């Protein structure tokens, strides 16, 4: 049964031939008791309704019954009854009924099909149907909202994964260079060792000759000559300083690799609690190592670090802030460009600015850049989530972010984070919320 059909009560109507007295009797009948009125129908066409209210007025008046009881009900009916065609949609019916029925409600409404009387609709039933409908709709809206939230955090997650992928590619590249020459040097050291082993072997043979007691001078002499030859060959192929360099370079490469790994560890802070007191200059330095691949060759980096006190923050989140800002700055430049990073502090905040000489942001876009999914980059290149994540992280740290930009000249973002003593509000759960 459709919603509209559920409103229908196929009530036997009264005809114009009915008298007021007859109708008043009918109104007492159990079938009719729950209705506020009775429909008056002539040959299938609704003429109006006669309401309990109206009847009561007649009977309450002096001699009302005697005067009007025998008269036709049509004289006292409301001929402007509310009539709705059942073929209309539920919303339309509901709107029509609620705007046409009088308050306080003393009548119900007539339902027709193609102008033919079908029955009576109860206003209370209509309200119930509409209430159920609203409940269903609000449930649907909240389900849709939950789904939207879920897919949004999924998207944010995949954006994070994408930037992680980009970062990993960069780091792999950074590690690959020192790893390459460390590998070369180790195989060179292996060659050196083979030669040294041969030389030691010759010394062993000499020792065996001497200790054997039966060696003659000529044999020992030949052995000594051979050792001399091997020694000279060795030093001519591997001069002393070259061997020193070999080990020096290898150690340097290994140190470089461990520095990258250390920075990577700092970046993700996998080994530390999520909230920590950190120096923003160091955080930026860590991020720069990771962002090297994005900035390389295209960007001249200028750093003006101030003497800044510690801030209490989630270092991995703050790293993400600077990685996003630096990536945007690098992406905003067509050819070569400059990025200026500055840090400074006042008595409440530590500030860091990332300024680029890129293409700038149009005035009408400045309001939108922090909105999730706002991007001017081609499909597949930008999800438009970078700055919205930045905003969320900074907000959860009780800090703020400002932007100034001029098309064709460049853009400057300023991030402010409260000093350690001021950031006591930034508790763990809020930071977790920003993680999404």
Ligand X SMILES: Nc1ncnc2c1ncn2[C@@H]1O[C@H](COP(=O)(O)OP(=O)(O)OP(=O)(O)O)[C@@H](O)[C@H]1O
Residue with Cβ nearer ligand X (56 or 376): 376
Q: Is 358 in the site for Mg ion (CB under 5 A)?
A: no
Could you tell which of Mg ion, ligand X, none binds residue 369, using a CB distance below 5 to 8 A set by kind? ligand X
Between CA 136 and CA 270 the distance in angstroms is 45
Q: Is 356 in the site for ligand X (CB under 6 A)?
A: yes
Q: Which stretch binds ligand X (CB under 6 A): 32-40, 148-156, 186-194, 385-393?
A: 385-393
Residue with Cβ nearer Mg ion (119 or 372): 372
Q: According to CB under 6 A, which one of 65, 69, 384, 420 is a site residue for ligand X?
A: 384
Cis peptide upstream of residue 58 (ω within 30 degrees of 0) = no
Between CA 49 and CA 35 the distance in angstroms is 11
Residue with Cβ nearer ligand X (178 or 399): 399
CB of 405 to ligand X, least distance (A): 7
Enumerate residues 149-178 that contact ligand X by CB under 6 A: 159
Enumerate residues 402-421 that contact ligand X by CB under 6 A: 411
In Å, how far are 334, 374, 375 from 379, measured between CA atoms? 18, 12, 9
Ranked by CB distance to Mg ion, the top (closest) residue is 386
CB of 173 to ligand X, least distance (A): 20
Could you tell which of ligand X, Mg ion, none binds residue 383, using a CB distance below 5 to 8 A set by kind? ligand X
Q: How many residues sit close enough to ligand X to count as binding (CB under 6 A)?
A: 23
Q: Is 319 in the site for Mg ion (CB under 5 A)?
A: no
Enumerate residues 323-342 that contact Mg ion by CB under 5 A: 328
Q: According to CB under 6 A, which one of 358, 397, 399, 434 is a site residue for ligand X?
A: 358
Ranked by CB distance to ligand X, the top (closest) residue is 386
Q: Is 108 in the site for ligand X (CB under 6 A)?
A: no
Q: According to CB under 6 A, which one of 170, 386, 399, 418 is a site residue for ligand X?
A: 386
Tokens standing for 383? 């999800």
The 3-state secondary structure of the chain, one letter per residue: CCCCHHHEECCCCECCCCEHHHHHHHHHCHHHCCCCEEEEEECCEEEEEEEHHHHHHHHHCCCHHHHHCCCEHHHCCECCCCEEECCCCHHHHHHHHHHHCCCCCCCCEEEEECCEEEEEECHHHHHHHHHHHHHHHHHHHHHHHHHHHHHHHHHHHHHHHHHHHHHHHHHHHHHHHHHHHHHHHHHHHHHHHHHHHHHHHHHHHHHHHHHHCCCCHHHHHHHHHHHHHHHHHHHHHCCHHHHHHHHHHHHHHHHHHHHHHHHHHHHHCCCCCCCEEECHHHHHHHHHHHHHHHHCCCEEEEEECCCCCCEEECHHHHHHHHHHHHHHHHHCCCCCEEEEEEEEECCCEEEEEEEECCCCCCHHHHCCCCCCCCCCCCCCCCCCCHHHHHHHHHHHCCCEEEEEEECCCEEEEEEEEEEHHHHHHCCHHHHHHHHC
Q: According to CB under 6 A, which one of 254, 382, 395, 404 is a site residue for ligand X?
A: 382
Enumerate residues 320-349 that contact ligand X by CB under 6 A: 324, 328-329, 332
Q: Is 385 in the site for ligand X (CB under 6 A)?
A: yes
Could you tell which of Mg ion, ligand X, none binds residue 357, using a CB distance below 5 to 8 A set by kind? none
What number of CA atoms fall less than 13 Å from residue 336's CA on the CB side? 3
Between CA 321 and CA 329 the distance in angstroms is 12
* Owner of token pair 């004289």: 75
Residue with Cβ nearer Mg ion (65 or 298): 298
Q: Which stretch binds ligand X (CB under 6 A): 33-41, 83-91, 128-136, 382-390?
A: 382-390
Contacts of 6 (CB under 8 A, 6+ apart): 125, 129
CB of 146 to ligand X, least distance (A): 24
CB of 77 closer than 8 Å to CB of 50? yes
Residue with Cβ nearer ligand X (82 or 339): 339
Could you tell which of ligand X, Mg ion, none binds residue 317, using a CB distance below 5 to 8 A set by kind? none
Q: Is 377 in the site for ligand X (CB under 6 A)?
A: yes
Q: According to CB under 5 A, which one of 170, 315, 386, 399 is a site residue for Mg ion?
A: 386
CB of 290 to ligand X, least distance (A): 16
Site string for ligand X, 35-74 (x = CB under 6 A): ----------------------------------------
CB of 361 to Mg ion, least distance (A): 12
Residue with Cβ nearer ligand X (252 or 374): 374
Interacting residue ranges for Mg ion, rule: CB under 5 A: 328, 386
Interacting residue ranges for ligand X, rule: CB under 6 A: 159, 324, 328-329, 332, 356, 358-361, 369, 374-377, 382-388, 411
């Amino acid at each position: 049964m459709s919603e509209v059909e559920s409103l229908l009560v196929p009530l036997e109507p009264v005809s114009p031939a009915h008298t007021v007295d007859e109708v008043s009797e009918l109104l007492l009948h159990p079938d009719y008791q729950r209705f506020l009125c009775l429909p008056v129908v002539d040959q299938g066409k609704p003429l109006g309704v006669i309401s309990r209210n109206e009847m009561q007025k007649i009977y309450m008046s002096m001699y009302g019954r005697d005067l009007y009881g025998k008269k036709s009900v049509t004289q006292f009916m409301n001929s402007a009854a509310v009539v709705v065609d059942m073929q209309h949609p539920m919303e339309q019916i509901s709107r029509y009924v609620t705007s046409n029925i009088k308050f306080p409600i003393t009548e119900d409404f007539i339902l027709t099909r193609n102008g033919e009387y079908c029955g009576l609709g109860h206003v209370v039933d209509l309200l119930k149907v509409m209430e159920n409908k609203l409940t269903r709709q609000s449930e649907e809206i909240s389900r849709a909202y939950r789904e939207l939230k879920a897919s949004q955090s999924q998207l944010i997650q995949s954006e994070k994964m994408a930037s992680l992928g980009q970062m990993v590619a960069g780091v792999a590249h950074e590690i690959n260079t020192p790893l390459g020459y460390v590998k070369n040097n180790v195989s060179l050291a292996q060659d050196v060792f083979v030669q040294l082993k041969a030389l030691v072997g010759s010394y062993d043979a000499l020792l065996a000759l001497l200790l054997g007691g039966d060696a003659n001078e000529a044999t020992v002499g030949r052995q000594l000559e051979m050792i001399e030859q091997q020694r000279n060959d060795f030093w001519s192929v591997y001069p002393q300083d070259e061997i020193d360099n070999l080990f020096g370079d290898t150690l340097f490469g290994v140190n470089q690799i461990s520095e990258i790994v250390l920075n990577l560890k700092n970046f993700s802070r996998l080994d530390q609690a999520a909230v920590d007191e950190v120096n923003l200059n160091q955080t930026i330095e860590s991020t720069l190592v990771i962002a090297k691949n994005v900035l390389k060759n295209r960007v001249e980096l200028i750093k003006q670090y101030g003497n800044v006190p510690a801030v209490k923050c989630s270092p991995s989140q703050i790293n993400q802030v600077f990685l996003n800002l630096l990536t945007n700055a690098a992406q905003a430049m067509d050819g070569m460009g400059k990025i200026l990073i500055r840090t400074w502090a006042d008595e409440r905040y530590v500030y860091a600015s990332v300024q680029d000489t890129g293409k700038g942001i149009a005035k009408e876009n400045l309001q939108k850049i922090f909105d999730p999914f706002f991007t001017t980059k081609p499909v597949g290149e930008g999800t438009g989530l970078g700055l919205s994540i930045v905003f969320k992280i900074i907000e959860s740290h009780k800090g703020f972010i400002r932007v100034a930009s001029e098309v064709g000249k460049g853009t400057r973002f300023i991030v402010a984070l409260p000093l350690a003593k001021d950031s006591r509000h930034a508790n763990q759960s809020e930071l977790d919320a920003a993680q999404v």
